[in-house]
Structure 1
Amino acid sequence: MRAWTSPEMPALPVVAPPVAVHDTASGRALTTTSDGPALLYVCGITPYDATHLGHAATYVGFDLLNRAWRNAGREVRYVQNVTDVDDPLLERATKVGVDWEELAERETELFRQDMQALRVLAPDAYIGAVESIPLAVDMIERLQAAGAVYRVEDDLYYSVAADPAFGDESGYDRDTMLRLFGERGGDPERAGKKDPLDPVVWRGEREGEPSWESPFGRGRPGWHIECAAIALTHLGPTVDVQGGGSDLVFPHHEMCAGHAQVATGAPFARAYVHAGMVGYDGEKMSKSRGNLVFVSALRNSDIDPMAIRLALLRQHYRSDWEWTDDGLWQAADDLAQWRRALSLGAGAPAGPVVEEVLAALADDLDAPRATAAVDRWVAATLGTDGLADTSDREAAVTLLPVLDAALGLSLV
């Protein structure tokens, strides 16, 4: 599957600090180091609807990580999936009377357009669930060989007991796991399972649903095995960061880790990094609540995508927060002031701003701190609080590439 076209990312004349990110499993900030490129796997969309601001916040957050690593001198290998066959997609297609493949391609293309407009660096490999079915089949066979898979009627299940580290990623107690498993696509009440938490890895053919041939009979892979198989194939046994929204901590990331660790015997990720949830009208954005704000709708209303991105950058990626129209309009006003200050060419000293922006992003992707540093420079340059400072004749030349490379904001 093709991704979108990446924006050009300027090379900076300075090297940013090493990047530390918050690891959900340990509860600590970790600076991941490994030989070779930094390996990043971020779980992608299930394309049954357009990209909303919750999606955008997650992918802009991990775009900051991609950029911060690159600015620190690291090569990055980034992989993202698209779950282009799954129950929510099939249910949506049936409800609106559209072919599921047509729906998946239409919404995936809209996602590409949204990511390109927001200047998110494209993944090196963008892999659909359908095209990854052979990878999932191979991985299920590896788990079978390890004695970690069993059959219940036409379905195959993975035994969570096969991984001694099960639970280490989320740190949740069993009651919490059972509740979340049931709420997030699991089937804890299924009769015949060895453990209510065991997830399906191969779903046998159901009437009216798409299915594919396999050594296990016709059917399709489970959700968790899809991501684990893609990550192992395209990145290897251990990634630096497994990323996604905080709603993926359990069961999805816990199960992905278990599948991979039983298959390879190696830790799946050095760090598990999770973005917060975005709300609107007092509730988390979700299809079921009907409170989604779509990136494409904002773009089609002539909203500058850079204003959308700046509104997202004003919030720390790990925070739960609420999207407001006022926040968007404030970002648009701020952006106009930034552009005005940069258009002068000269301005307040830019060196300290560069240092602060790069240091903030190296410190668990602290974009609010980084953008606040730019706000102070703009105020000093325009004389908002007194006499304008234009002592640095090369201020704009210095800052523009940093705002682009580090924050993903193109302001020319």
Structure 2
Amino acid sequence: MNIDIETIDSCNRKLKLEIPLKNYKDALKIYYKKLGNEVNVPGFRKGKVPQAMLEKRFGPEVKKEVLTQLVSDSIAEAIEEKGLKAIGEPRSLNIEAEEGTDITVTADLEIVPEFEIQDFSKIDITLKIPKVTEEDIDKVIEVYRERNAKSIPIMDRGVETGDLVKIDFEGSRDGKPVPGSAAQDYVIQIGSKNLIEGFDEKLMGAQVGEVLEFSLKLPDEHPNTMLAGTDMDFRVNLKGIQIKEPPEIDDEFAKKSDPSKNYQNVAEMRAGIRKGLEEFEKEQAQKKCRVDLAAQLGALHPIDIPERLVSEQIGFMVKREREKDAPQGGSGTGQEVGNDEVPVTPQDEKKHREDAVKLLQQELVIGKLAENWNLDVTNSELDQEIQGFLTVMGGGDLQKTKQEWAQSGALLRLHTRLRREKTLDALFDKINVKEEMVDRESVKADNDNV
């Protein structure tokens, strides 16, 4: 097969093929042999039907199907042989196939242009890392104290703000119990603001064993629309009062504060907390700098981007923008779940084109670096990311979600994002990275200005 490639511009090629007649005849012979083993022809056993008879009955359909498949396979073979990264299906396909002659095929191809990775060693990135303060360490220690606090029963006073109280309660209207408004051994914290407004105030000063009866107006946003904004009568039996007594901060407390760290004293605990917080802040600063790093990397490689990719990216950006503006944030899953195309207006095109091109330049460079460095995302890494998402959303079936995301394209986008992050993190080790310790407020101000 003769292959000729004409360069139109950096992203477009004209492909010309000459497929030998012999290839076509061989393909026909193979097809007819397969067909003869499948069809029933009176007077002949399967596999014994003469080709001439098959040609007489099925000739036009077979020739069309064989020619279509041969052309498709030949184009794919030519693209692979010439090392072209073609995008989508060939355009302006023209086939010249006269009886008894070789087959000539021409087609227009849109491709990702070849490019070389430029010297990125001079990229400068500044990590603005918030300083870890003594107050930050104290906050962690308070979490440890709360975790190790002892519950102390209170019998000599009434309910106060901050107390944990155990109650049985039942709600009713017009003397009749309201379904779903009763509970046994229910524990609440007074002043937590997680209750119906006014509920904990009614318990203030009550003693263990006391039974209280009172009425409250339910909030207008109550999930049960039949009850929203109405009055309900409550009967509450106060069964217990407890307070949490945090331990003193001493060496014994330090040993129990975080068993995985095996601290021996307070000084060691504070030093360990500081180290952990500093590592966390550095990781967070590096994550925020991925955007800057990708932008600088893309700017080093002003690659021409195929128009088809630009159009697809603009369409995706417009869709995400409209989902974000939709009531309740579109799907609400944090992942794209539909494949429906959205109309792109000239205004959309103008608004998003520059960002789409820059993003695609970045992705092409990052993708090539990932190939050069043999970086990829494993199935376990994908599963871990999806499981984390499901945990935040309250649970779900991992494999079912994975299948749904594979069908919608969300799994591919997740894979691309994770590979992007892994590649950029590897790039941090190969460039000039400056670390600047800053006050947390200045970092917050920078984020607010983005």
Structure-1-length-normalised TM-score: 0.21
- Higher relative contact order, structure no. (Cα contacts within 8 Å, ≥ 6 residues apart): 1
Structure-2-length-normalised TM-score: 0.20
Structure 1 or 2: more strand by fraction: 2
Greater Cα radius of gyration, structure 1 or 2: 2
